[in-house]
Structure 1
Amino acid sequence: MTDREQLQRNGYVLLRRAIPTEWLDDLRAAFDAGVKPSNQWSVPRGMDWRHAQLDLDPKVQAACRLPALLAAAGELIGERFFLSQVEGREPLAGGGHQRLHRDLSAQRPGDMVNALAFLDDYGPENGATRIVPGSHRPEPGEPPFDFNDESRSVSLSGTAGDILVFDVDLVHAGSLNAFGARRRSLLISYFSESLYASHLETTSLRGVRMDTSERFDPADSAPGGPVA
């Protein structure tokens, strides 16, 4: 099975050490400088998370355009797409736990892709993301997913510089940051070009300040493969 087939079947890929190591200090500094309390966002954010507005930072913009990341996003979306949003998120000590959920596509399955670019090492002890491989495309007649059932979920772990790229219909969730170790990440969203008008209607609510007019074409192949 090719990497592209694995990506489509599983609905995600974990790109190991995709961010150049020498970029990480600058990205962490951009995150910390951009942290804003919940009441300073247009729409209040979760109180057990740290949120950073950093979409104008040049290094953050460069990270969103890493070739391997764009290739994986393009493979999942399958048509021209654009960078819709990037912000910083970090679960606070004793916070970050989420129920399994889907973010949900807009007009057709696969028209939106999210990516989590990890700026710190991550694992079950500091709020790592949980995913359910293959859950983005239920089989015909399959019963609705039970979001309270954790039996198929996989908790990811890895090092700073990894990037998780996933279809927004993939079942996933954040986990409890039990020990309080830092787990900063960039949450990046890519949308199909057909969603641009609706995207523009909500940019202020989402705190988007960057120019989102650039377009990307799906790459011929998606590098990497899903984690086992």
Structure 2
Amino acid sequence: MPDRMSDCLTATKVGRLDAEQAAGLDRDGYLLLRSAVPDAWRDGLRAAFECGVGAGDQWSAPRGAGWRHALVDLDPAVQQTCRLPLLLAAGAQMLGGPFFLAQVEGREPLQGGGHQPLHRDGAGTKAVAALVFLDAYGPDNGGTRLVPRHLDPGFVGQPLVDRGLANQALPDETLALKIAGEAGDILVFDADLPHGATCNRSGARRRSLLLSFMPERNRAAMDACRAIRNVRMDTSERFIP
């Protein structure tokens, strides 16, 4: 029987990474896209972030202390950024089959806040996470750290769901790379890769958009929890590698 829901979805063909980028992403589990967001878009994205910041009760589920959060998923500039060809190509490289944009929100660690222990997101879901940096970032203002795939003791070439692992087998902090760069960079990574933000010691602004791509097979599960995730945008578009 044909999948009638799939037939109703908008399908968008996605391009490919170049060979060097694809090999690096496969090897390391992450790819840093320098200056991926056009300079002309960045002020608009910062404005969308500021407009989306509100009180804690705007969220269906509690958000972590030490952070500023922003609802941004209905903003056209944010939606356009989530569809940058190079970003979609990285998602396609990691997921291999049809996928969709599941969520996007704004986050910023406050001074003295933001530190996260190394963790894995959505074990076994094959989710792709991306951070679109709207300000310069590094270890002094809450920049992300992560452990490359080849240094991850929990990675043995099989999905986490097959190994029954979630936050187990996390590597030592000494193996984590502290990522640094400029506004307009995008960090794309396997959400099962050990990662976490650092503490914003300096108090300098470190706004970002956090988004996730999911395989098409996860659509029903994600649709079922839209309200608690505060997802308001249309997620029906399907990206095809």
TM, length-normalised to structure 1: 0.89
Q: Is the 8 A contact 1:55 1:61 kept in 2?
A: yes
1:85-127 deviations in Å (ceiling 9; x for gaps): 00000000100000001003445xx3x1010000000011100
Q: Which residue of 2 aligns with 1:75?
A: 93
Q: Is the 8 A contact 1:118 1:186 kept in 2?
A: yes
1:20-169 equivalences under 5 Å are 20-107=38-125, 110=126, 112-134=127-149, 135=152, 138-139=155-156, 145-146=169-170, 149-169=172-192
Question: Would you say how many aligned residue pairs link Structure 1 and Structure 2?
Answer: 213
1:174-218 deviations in Å (ceiling 9; x for gaps): 000001000000001100000000010000000000000001012
1:158-197 equivalences under 5 Å are 158-197=181-220
After superposition, the CA RMSD in angstroms is 1.8
For 1:113 and 1:163, how far apart are their aligned partners in 2?
13
Q: After the TM superposition, list the runs of 4 or more consecutive aligned residues in structure 1 that deviate by more than 3 angstroms.
A: none
For 2:239 and 2:181, how far apart are their aligned partners in 1?
28
Letter of the 1:133 counterpart: P
Q: Which residue of 1 aligns with 2:12?
A: none
1:28-51 deviations in Å (ceiling 9; x for gaps): 000000012222210010121000
Q: Is the 8 A contact 1:51 1:88 kept in 2?
A: yes
Q: Which segments of 5 or more consecutive residues in structure 2 lack a partner in the other structure?
A: 1-18, 158-162
Residue aligned with 1:3, SS = helix
Is 157-166 or 31-40 further displaced after alignment?
31-40
Letter of the 2:179 counterpart: L
Residue aligned with 1:116, SS = strand
Residue aligned with 2:227, SS = helix
Q: Which residue of 2 aligns with 1:210?
A: 233
Q: Is the 8 A contact 2:154 2:169 kept in 1?
A: no
